[in-house]
Amino acid sequence: MITIQGKGVSAGVAKGPLYFLRRPNTRIEKQTVEDTGAEKRRLAAAQTESVRQLEELAEKCRDEAEDAAVLFETHAMFVEDEDFVACIEEQLEEEACNAEYAVEQAGEQFAVMLAAMDDPYMQARAADIKDVARRIINNLTGAVSGGFDTDEPVILCADDLAPSETLQLDKSKILGFVTKKGSNNSHTAILARTMGIPAVCAAGDALQEGYTGRLCYIDGETGELIIDPDPISLAALTEKLGKQAERKQLLETMKGQKDITLDGREIMLYCNIGSLEDVSAVQENDGQGIGLFRSEFLYLGAKTYPTEEEQFLAYRAVAAAMQGKRVIIRTLDIGADKQVDYFRMEKEVNPALGMRAIRICLNRPEVFRTQLRALYRASAYGKVAIMFPMITSVWEVRECKRACHRVMAELEKEGVPFDRSTELGIMIETPASVLVADALAEEVDFFSVGTNDLIQYTLACDRQSNDLGKFYDPHHPAVLRALKIAADAAHRAGKWIGICGELAADIGLLPTFLAIGIDELSVTPSAVLPLRAELRRSIAKTCTLDMLKC
């Protein structure tokens, strides 16, 4: 048995043959040239081609990975960086050498400079510089990049993988990654976690090319790479692999399935999102709608009030992407722990009980109107629902509805399309809203329970405090009874009720939610399939309210 100890950076176990990345022309020979002018022209052509390739790469991943796109744009700027170019040309002149060698030398110099910095982020950028240099060299030699050509899936080994290399890899042929160098922050680690496959880095020189083709196991938790495991290790690894495959397969089979219990109770299984980028995760995990779209990201990420147009474009993008599935957008919920400078809020002794969420909107009708106009305009492009946070009184809801009617009247007058039947709902997150839930249910189309705040206000426990421990009990009967009271009120009025707080993903509470009669659960995208699996083996009729008893 050969064991190589590295650092696990992406969990899971993989089994497969080792494959070392074959980079074209890894060794650059220094050659003396007579005509350095000709070399400079070759260099210029290779730079132009490199920039073109990088811009193309940036465009290719613009929609799915904005960060990667910016990275490639930065690489394109590296190619033409005046110091880098000057350094290459100086090498060329002084050494009278081939352009490949000059580029490699310059790349090394800059990489060393960054690697020597007292900052892990900058150290990691040394790989970017080398990547850029390698690209220019490949373009000089005319070599095809990639270096990865295999018919069977493999565990890919390299000293370290550059970002542009990882993008070009055929992902369907990769079972896991092992790198000699790298860290938790390196591109390989990030990619592996996104792909959901195991990775081990910092394996060091023990990882030899001589192992090519050998069958091995990697464990992304323990950071081990094992070739020819002894019977005990083999049994342990096989068991891990088996469990992992079972779980993955089970979850895969959940895609496209209905969210229904064995006895036919259907639940709407939706997702919580905080930005446009999260929509792809909703689709990948087969979420049936969006139960909470936090509109704060538009405000928190800005230096001043986002315009109606900016908001409209964001809401429309999500509504359209969800193709007619319900998208519940919560109106501005700032204040308390989420402060925005340009709102110029007064400092409060107790912000959780202060000017926050709907209270700000009702006090600042112009801010509210802008958002409502954007929301109604977006309603023409999908199934948008509007949800108001932090409601305590019936009059607040009526005022919100009046604001909605005013906006609809405006849009109608302007001839702007919108959906008049856009559903309106409220968050149930204060004890007051639970106690007057009967009256509130008459006013709206749905309730959605924000459990984090409901727990905080019901149990008088600050959710930001780390010391409250056992006192902050999400399973407290008072919280669950509050849910039951709100649900009963909603159902008596013929309305539906959901949960969009963190508690919704608590699988242990699913029977209680079913017994209470919760109609919708909105959770983080990765929680959809496990929850669906649990739901599909539940029997709603046999669920009890035992947890509501003290």
- Catalytic positions are 187, 500
Q: Which is nearer to another protein, 50 or 433 (CB)?
A: 50
110 binds another protein (CB under 8 A): yes
Distance CA 549, CA 205 (A): 60
Q: Which of 1, 45, 122, 460 binds another protein (CB under 8 A)?
A: 122
Q: Which of 125, 373, 377, 495 binds another protein (CB under 8 A)?
A: 125
Distance CA 469, CA 50 (A): 55
Torsion of CA 534, 518, 267, 396, to 10 degrees: -140
Dihedral (CA of 36, 37, 42, 46) sign: positive
Q: How far is CA 268 from the centre of its chain?
A: 22
Q: Which of 92, 114, 155, 273 binds another protein (CB under 8 A)?
A: 114
Q: Which 8-state DSSP code applies to residue 375?
A: H
Residues 337-396 contacting another protein, CB under 8 A: none
* Shortest reach from residue 77's CB to another protein, in Å: 5
Q: Which of 81, 159, 399, 488 binds another protein (CB under 8 A)?
A: 81
Phi, psi of 427, deg, nearest 5? -85, 135
Q: Nearest to residue 268, comparing CAs of 320, 321, 328?
A: 328
CB 79 within 8 A of CB 54: yes
How far apart, in Å, are the Cα atoms of 414 and each of 118, 408, 418, 474? Answer: 59, 10, 11, 47
* Shortest reach from residue 58's CB to another protein, in Å: 11
* Only segment of 121-129, 139-147, 287-295, 359-367 that touches another protein (CB under 8 A): 121-129
Length of the chain in residues, anyone? Answer: 550
Helix residue ranges, H only, 285-386: 296-300, 308-321, 358-363, 365-378
128 binds another protein (CB under 8 A): yes
Residues 288-347 contacting another protein, CB under 8 A: 303
Q: How far is CA 397 from the centre of its chain?
A: 33
* Only segment of 125-133, 330-338, 401-409, 412-420 that touches another protein (CB under 8 A): 125-133
Distance CA 128, CA 124 (A): 8
* Shortest reach from residue 193's CB to another protein, in Å: 19
Q: Which is nearer to another protein, 119 or 209 (CB)?
A: 119
Q: Which of 83, 151, 152, 366 binds another protein (CB under 8 A)?
A: 83
How far apart, in Å, are the Cα atoms of 417 and each of 202, 218, 379? Answer: 57, 56, 8
* Only segment of 124-132, 212-220, 279-287, 367-375 that touches another protein (CB under 8 A): 124-132
Q: Which of 10, 12, 21, 84 binds another protein (CB under 8 A)?
A: 84
Q: Nearest to residue 284, comparing CAs of 326, 252, 241?
A: 252
How many other C-beta atoms lie within 10 A of the C-beta of residue 144? 10
Q: Which is nearer to another protein, 122 or 353 (CB)?
A: 122
Q: What is the CA radius of gyration of the chain?
A: 29
Q: Which is nearer to another protein, 83 or 152 (CB)?
A: 83
Q: Which is nearer to another protein, 90 or 263 (CB)?
A: 90
* Only segment of 48-56, 70-78, 319-327, 474-482 that touches another protein (CB under 8 A): 70-78
101 binds another protein (CB under 8 A): no
* Only segment of 76-84, 253-261, 326-334, 424-432 that touches another protein (CB under 8 A): 76-84
144 binds another protein (CB under 8 A): no
121 binds another protein (CB under 8 A): yes
* Only segment of 30-38, 46-54, 67-75, 488-496 that touches another protein (CB under 8 A): 67-75
* Shortest reach from residue 118's CB to another protein, in Å: 7
Q: Which 8-state DSSP code applies to residue 345?
A: P
Q: Which is nearer to another protein, 113 or 353 (CB)?
A: 113
CB 497 within 8 A of CB 520: yes
* Shortest reach from residue 128's CB to another protein, in Å: 7
Q: Which of 44, 117, 245, 250 binds another protein (CB under 8 A)?
A: 117
Q: Nearest to residue 134, comparing CAs of 285, 28, 12?
A: 28
Q: Which of 118, 205, 209, 414 binds another protein (CB under 8 A)?
A: 118
CB 53 within 8 A of CB 135: yes
160 binds another protein (CB under 8 A): no
* Only segment of 75-83, 189-197, 280-288, 365-373 that touches another protein (CB under 8 A): 75-83
141 binds another protein (CB under 8 A): no
Q: Nearest to residue 418, comparing CAs of 374, 368, 387?
A: 374
Q: Which is nearer to another protein, 125 or 330 (CB)?
A: 125
Q: Which of 70, 144, 250, 409 binds another protein (CB under 8 A)?
A: 70
Total residues at interface with another protein (CB under 8 A): 22
The conformational region for residue 453 under phi > 0 = left, psi -120 to 50 = alpha, else beta, is alpha
Q: Which are the contacts of 413, defined by CB distance < 8 A and separation ≥ 6?
A: none
Lay out the sheet containing 2-5: strands in order across.
2-5, 224-227, 215-219, 13-20, 154-158, 174-179, 199-201, 7-10
Distance CA 92, CA 90 (A): 5
CB 504 within 8 A of CB 523: yes
Binding mask 14-53 for another protein (x = CB under 8 A): ----------------------------------------
77 binds another protein (CB under 8 A): yes
* Positions that interact with another protein (CB under 8 A): 70-71, 73-74, 77-78, 81-84, 110, 113-114, 117-119, 121-122, 125, 128-129, 303
